[in-house]
Structure 1
Amino acid sequence: MGRPGIGSASAARRAGGPKGFEEFVAARGPRLLRIAWLLPPSAPCEPSPTPR
């Protein structure tokens, strides 16, 4: 949870179907995964328990 791009991927899948989803992943997948791994595991929508 808390990985960016999942919502966008599901939106693309709903808009274009499985084929559109595969094209979306082929175009943006590696970059989104790299960003997701670089970001902290905590979701931005959830307030972190430790103040920064």
Structure 2
Amino acid sequence: MTVRAAVILMLGVQIAVAAGVLTVLAGSAWAVAVLAGGGAFAGTVAFARSVIG
């Protein structure tokens, strides 16, 4: 695994966890939080791949 891939995946995981935690704290169910985290992960990885050269 390259450093670029590790940075992109780590950023995606951090954003996904933050989105999931905030969703749970807002009063939603765990399943909704997992879906929100998955969407945040996918979006972050796609964005970071295009930004990080």
TM range (shorter): 0.3 to 0.5
TM-score, normalised by the number of residues in structure 2: 0.39
